[in-house]
Amino acid sequence: MKELINEKYEVKLEQNKVNVYTTTTGSMDIKDAVTEIQNLEQQIQQINANLNKLNKDIEDKVWEKQKENLERNKLALLDIFNQFQKVISPQVEELKSKIKAEIKKIKAEKGYDRIGDKNSKVTMSSLIVSEVCSKYDIEAGHPISRELRVEFDKI
């Protein structure tokens, strides 16, 4: 069984300075001492394992390899991204042209430019864009829809 830790203080005057020394003494029975040794041994083993892994990572240049892998993945994704853009850009532009033509027609039919109230204009523009985009199966949060809302007054 562990006993209370005893602390002893010693005060000394050394080189014109007062120094206070603390000595801590703790005692335990054999059973607790064996348990304490096991705990200390486990901590030492864990530290050794961490050091070994760290040394191996340093040797294997793990971080450099991870960085190289990330850079390779980035290049691959950029390539796919560029291919997608190259392939679909003409179709997207054609689709946006069709939608803009319909928006322009509906704006004229509903007299959008004659509306003076800003809130009414905002509401009408959102309704028109949503209506036309839904015909082309484009959701309100889609980038094309958002872009058309931004450009609405210029259409």
CB 148, CB 106: distance < 8 Å: no
93 plus 145 within the same structural domain: yes
Residue 111 counted as domain residue = yes
**Residue 6, helix vs strand vs coil:** strand
Instruction: Indicate whether 5 pLDDT > 80.
Output: no
Residues 56 and 94 in one domain: no
* pLDDT for position 1: 42
Q: Is residue 108 domain-resident?
A: yes
- Domain count for the chain: 2
The CA distance from 124 to 138, in Å, is 18
* 101 and 55 housed in the same domain: no
Q: Does a structural domain hold residue 72? A: no
75-85 pLDDT tens trace? 999 999 899 88
Strands (E), the chain: 6-14, 17-25
Q: Answer whether residue 148 is part of any domain.
A: yes
Q: Where are the beta strands (DSSP E) in 58-126?
A: none
Question: Chain-wide mean pLDDT for the chain?
Answer: 86
Distances (CA, A) of 151 to 44, 91, 98, 122, 126: 66, 19, 14, 12, 12
Whether residue 35 is contained in a domain is answered as yes
Note whether residue 144 is domain-resident. Answer: yes
What pLDDT is recorded for position 3? 54
Does residue 93 sit in the same domain as residue 135?
A: yes
Q: Decide if 79 is inside a domain.
A: no
The range of the structural domain enclosing residue 128 comes to 89-154
The reply to whether 99 falls in a domain is: yes
Q: What is the pTM of this model?
A: 0.51
How many Cβ atoms are within 10 Å of 37's Cβ, its own excluded?
A: 10
